[in-house]
Amino acid sequence: MTDQRQQEHYPGFEGTVGKIMATSESWWPPRPTAPDGAPNVVVVLADDLGYSDVSCYGSEIATPAIDELAATGVRYTNFHVTPLCSPTRAALLTGLNSHHVGVGFVANADPGFPGYAGELPPNQSTLAEMLKASGYATMAVGKWHLCKETDLSIAGDTHSWPLQRGFDQFYGFLEALTNFHHPHQMYEGNSPIDIAEYPEGYYLTDDLTDRACRMIREVKATDQDKPFFMYYAHGAVHAPLHAKADNIARHRGHYDKGWDQLREERLARQIELGVVPPDTELPPRNFEPDEDVRAWDSYSEGERRVMARYMEVYAAMVESIDDSVARIRAELNAIGQLDNTIFVFTSDNGASREGRAQGTTSYFTYSNPGAMSSAEVGEEEMNALDAIGGPTTWPHYPRGWAMACNTPFRLYKITSYRGGHSVPFVLSWPARTAVNGGELRNQYTHIIDLLPTLSELLGMDIPTERHGLASEAPDGVSFAATLDDPDAPSDHTEQYYECIGHRAYYRDGWAAAAFHEFMAPFSTDRWELFNLTEDLNERIDLADAEPEKLAELVQAWDEAAWRNRVFPLDEGTGLYRLLRPAEHELLTRELRILPGTPTVERYRASRVIAGGNFTVTVDLHHRPGDQGVLVAHGGQASGYVLYIEDGALHFEVNSGGQPMVFDPMDLPGECRQIILDVAAPGGRIWNITVSADGRTGIAASNIPQIYGFIPWEGIDVGVDRRSPVSWQLHQRHGSFPYTGTLHQVTYTPGPPAPDTEEARLAELREIGMGLE
């Protein structure tokens, strides 16, 4: 190439390499580099962990690793989050209030309002992006839950996935929850992991911790001077309550005493530890509509045994979280980074009341009341006690245990009282905090304060724009001064709360809170007023005694709600979940699946059956002797499977954990097409027929319809991957790949059943209009 052409193609690079290098230091753009000795940052976020669930906050559950964090750091007794998972995660990563950043509800909804977009906004940098720009390696493991359901598959838009939001590496799951024994869909980076069967003894928390330790070691082995940010977002202790059998066994009999005695014992330990003042008293059992708790002794002996088992599994899960902290600390110690690591441990909200009054072995029954499994404790649970916590159940504990886990506060996750948003928070940075190790901090602090605090501790600038778009300044404030000074004032003096219509406002030691009863007009909600300086757990309502103070805080909430895009409020009709953007309709089209296709993602798969009426056409060339799964949708949480075994065609339904097995159809010769026809006449039921080459051989009616979040696993063709629909079939054959020739499987959605939520949108809008 001539010099002239070189200059035309590469202006500024004329001459030889030697000539250029003799006159220039480098043509490479500078890379971000962290200051020498910059500390690592580890944030461990538990899911649905209550205020008193770790031993340094009063629990009887041994958590020595978290206790050691506290011994080399500080514990905050007045730390707050949002009352729900996705909003807290968004607030943690951006330093903005959850509605302000567009995640005022879980990411499973996108009703079209600015405060409820269900994903992080394009103009706002995350903590990971800031640290990456400051020269950090950034890694995330575990639960994400910050992208829309329409974007959960690789065919969706990945702009709100971890790697696109500042993380160099990601290993985990994108949704709200998953099976701990057989996770439904794991991702490595931007790629779904295709796995048919997990190894014997697999447990999700162990897997995530293995990966977290590996990521840390990989970074430090390559560049020992490069600091890292590890965001470990646990799936535990969110439902389903799954744990390893040996760990559960260690807690056998520990909770036969019941939740009333447990919270008395936890409060006594909290007072002894100084976590709460000596004169703290327990509030009455929660009494609010549909959130009330009965006395433990009012249940029968059999019911108490089952309910105690749920808590035994939960305690084992808490231990697994502590084990993960221990292993990460051991890794940091092994590579000489323990003292120079800022290690944060907290929870995303208070303990969860989603197990209702008596718990359940089938978590999704609360959103699918047509399922066979009951929300009441029955003989089935009593006769299968040891199965609770294993791979054949999807349990959640009764809300009485959530009340005890949130000791000494009122209510639970989603509510605006302190049980919904007060959580443990430990920050350990031995190089700085060891001198104050074990001390308590009582200043009011909030999850939106973490990003500004880390910014101050690390000397990191908070960007004012992202991708050319102006960014909002953090809503939070730094609490760095409190690490060294127990008497430093809190600069966070006001904070609003809102979740599914529940509301609260904090200002300078006072709080106003309103419990919203679903499907009731907001004008009927009663605001309560509390002086938290004298009444930290909101036992004494001063609304009548201090009407001016109450009016002041209610007005402040209203003003903050407008600033932060909280409106419109959710009245409880379900419209938030049902209103969807136009691209949602693309997921309800006919679905054709070829053999060898990885599992069709959970949400896309659910949309083709959501209306209730649909047809599954299996085109194949079946010969005598061929057998295996033709199509499987779901797993042990719920689902259905069509398979051939020993010369017969079988169809089974798993209804909320309960198997429904129908008489098989003989297939004596070759077969070219099998059709499953599902009709939904209304009443939340299915009527099904299965035919082979036009000959009907299986028919059943009044099958509880599967809808809503479930089936929790997607659709498999020619195999039943991961958690099986039929446990008995899995025990005989594993994932049971089909041995014949399978051409394709086609799902054809039909018209919606007359009583589906989508068909009732106009009716629900009218109901909502009447609840203003």
Active site residue 85: yes
Average pLDDT over residues 668-690: 96
> Is the Cα dihedral 124, 127, 128, 130 positive or negative?
positive
Q: At what angle do helices 301-334 and 64-71 cross, to 10 degrees?
A: 50
Number of neighbours of residue 439 by Cβ within 10 angstroms: 17
Lowest mean pLDDT among 10-24, 228-242, 627-641, 739-753: 10-24
Beta partners for 345?
A: 44, 426
Give CA–CA dist 98/454, Å, rounded: 19
For residue 140, what are its two tokens? 């995330």
Average pLDDT over residues 131-147: 98
Whole-model pTM: value is 0.95
Would you say residue 180 has pLDDT above 80? yes
The DSSP bridge pattern shows strands 341-347 and 425-428 to be: antiparallel
575: helix, coil or strand? helix
First-to-final CA distance of the chain: 75
Catalytic residue among 56, 85, 213, 405: 85
pLDDT of residue 33: 87
Q: What is the pLDDT of residues 150-168, one digit of tens each?
A: 999 999 999 999 999 999 9
Nearest to 139 by CA among 176, 111, 112, 169: 169
3-state per-residue secondary structure call for 202-231 = CCHHHHHHHHHHHHHHHHHHHCCCCCEEEE
pLDDT of residue 366: 60
Would you say residue 59 has pLDDT above 50? yes
Average pLDDT over residues 203-214: 98
Question: Is cis: bond before 408, omega within 30 of 0?
Answer: yes
Beta partners for 698?
A: 690
Residues 6+ apart with CB under 8 A from 136: 34, 38, 41, 226, 227, 228, 229
Active site residue 733: no
Question: Is cis: bond before 391, omega within 30 of 0?
Answer: no
Q: What is the pLDDT of residues 72-82, one digit of tens each?
A: 999 999 999 99
Q: What is the pLDDT of residues 610-620, one digit of tens each?
A: 989 999 999 99
Average pLDDT over residues 545-556: 98
Residue 7 corresponds to which amino acid?
Q
Average pLDDT over residues 29-37: 84
Give Cα separations from 447 to 278, 407, 423, 695, 767 (angstroms): 27, 20, 10, 61, 35
Would you say residue 2 has pLDDT above 90? no
pLDDT of residue 1: 46
Average pLDDT over residues 348-373: 80
Average pLDDT over residues 637-665: 96
Number of neighbours of residue 461 by Cβ within 10 angstroms: 10
Give CA–CA dist 72/249, Å, rounded: 31
Catalytic residue among 80, 145, 242, 251: 145
Would you say residue 324 has pLDDT above 80? yes
User: pLDDT-derived band of residue 372, with 50, 70 and 90 as boundaries?
Assistant: very low
Give Cα separations from 565 to 86, 96, 432, 477, 561 (angstroms): 16, 12, 38, 20, 6
Give Cα separations from 540 to 403, 456, 529, 545, 651 (angstroms): 18, 38, 8, 11, 58
pLDDT of residue 35: 87
